[in-house]
């Protein structure tokens, strides 16, 4: 007896495997996170993320142009100010580093890719939390929403085409959408970090933004043990007017990503975070894995789980491979 059904027929040559692939990568589905540091005269490499740097304004523009030329879909900007305070004043200052950098990139590459900005206070506060604190030192959800509204208007005015709401405050999408619409900025896209988990994979990011965090963010980011909660958060953001939903991190939460993608009628994105990047780079540097193969496999896995686009620090490099 010989098998009648032979799935291996479709795997026997590179041409057949390419023709029958169910999931593909395209440069336009990749988004490059970029860090810009106030006062920097040259890029500052990050020890925990080889190949990634805190940029000066000049090197930031060069990195964005390179991404645009590679066909990358967008860049997500994170600002690192020289001075921080309790309410993150630099976040709403028109001359603050994030808003200055946004204007620069909107002028440089705004026609070639989507200039996006992180809308959160953690980079700008002297305590490192994603919101303002009350008298007892807890994050005040509703007071934080007022700051987010002001940040949204400042970033939109600077030229951001898409706001990445990453703070995980209750009602943040509704608050920002209301502020934008009231100001006549119905054109600005809201991408909600809907299912953002309190993850250990964010470690290298702390270096990237020179985090001042004391304690943790478990009171507002999600418990890694909870799957249904991610769906609940995503549904709420959709009801409040989010244009795009986000799951973060990516690889440890592919089940949540798949759940959200199954019900969402708006695009769903995922963030391949700093710890995921750092682990692959470290293993590759030690000769333990095939770097390019593993990078591509991780991105295929995230796309296969349902992500329409992926934020990844490899965006420009991978886009070059694909082109």
Residue 223 DSSP label: P
Contact 146, 179 (CB under 8 A): no
Active site residue 248: yes
Question: Which residue among 199, 248, 275, 299 is the active-site one?
Answer: 248
- Short-list 297, 290, 304, CA closest to 318: 297
- Short-list 295, 273, 274, CA closest to 284: 295
Question: Which residue among 196, 275, 311, 318 is the active-site one?
Answer: 196
Coil, strand or helix at 232: helix
Active site residue 61: no
Start-to-end C-alpha separation, the chain: 46
> What is the dihedral sign for C-alpha 298, 173, 244, 155?
negative
Beta strand pairing call for 53-55 and 44-45: antiparallel
Catalytic sites, residue numbers: 196, 248
């Amino acid at each position: 007896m010989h098998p009648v059904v032979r799935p291996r027929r479709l795997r026997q040559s590179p041409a057949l495997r390419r023709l029958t692939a169910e999931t593909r990568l395209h440069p336009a589905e990749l988004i490059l996170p970029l860090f810009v540091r106030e006062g920097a005269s040259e890029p500052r490499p990050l020890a925990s993320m080889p190949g990634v740097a805190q940029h000066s304004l000049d090197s930031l523009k060069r990195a964005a142009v390179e991404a645009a030329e590679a066909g990358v879909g967008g860049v997500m900007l994170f600002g690192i100010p020289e001075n921080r305070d309790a309410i993150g004043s630099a976040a709403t200052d028109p001359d603050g580093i994030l808003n200055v950098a946004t204007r620069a990139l909107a002028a440089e590459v705004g026609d070639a890719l989507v200039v996006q900005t992180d809308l959160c206070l953690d980079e700008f506060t002297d305590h490192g939390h994603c919101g303002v604190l009350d008298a007892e030192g807890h994050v005040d959800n509703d007071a934080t929403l007022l700051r987010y509204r002001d940040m949204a208007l400042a970033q939109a005015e600077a030229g951001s085409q898409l706001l990445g709401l990453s703070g995980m405050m209750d009602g943040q999408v509704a608050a920002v959408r209301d502020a934008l619409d009231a100001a006549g900025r119905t054109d600005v896209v809201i991408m909600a970090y809907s299912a953002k988990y309190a993850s250990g994979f964010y470690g290298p990011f702390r270096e990237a933004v020179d985090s001042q965090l004391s304690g943790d963010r478990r009171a507002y980011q999600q418990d890694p043990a909870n799957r249904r909660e991610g769906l609940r958060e995503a549904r709420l953001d959709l009801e409040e007017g989010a244009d795009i939903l986000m799951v973060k991190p990516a690889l440890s939460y592919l089940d949540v990503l798949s759940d959200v993608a199954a019900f969402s009628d708006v695009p769903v994105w995922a963030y391949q975070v700093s710890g995921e990047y750092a682990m692959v780079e470290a293993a590759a540097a030690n000769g333990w894995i095939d770097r390019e193969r593993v990078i591509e496999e991780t991105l295929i896995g995230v796309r296969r789980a349902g992500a329409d686009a992926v934020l990844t620090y490899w965006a420009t490099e991978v886009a070059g491979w694909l082109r």
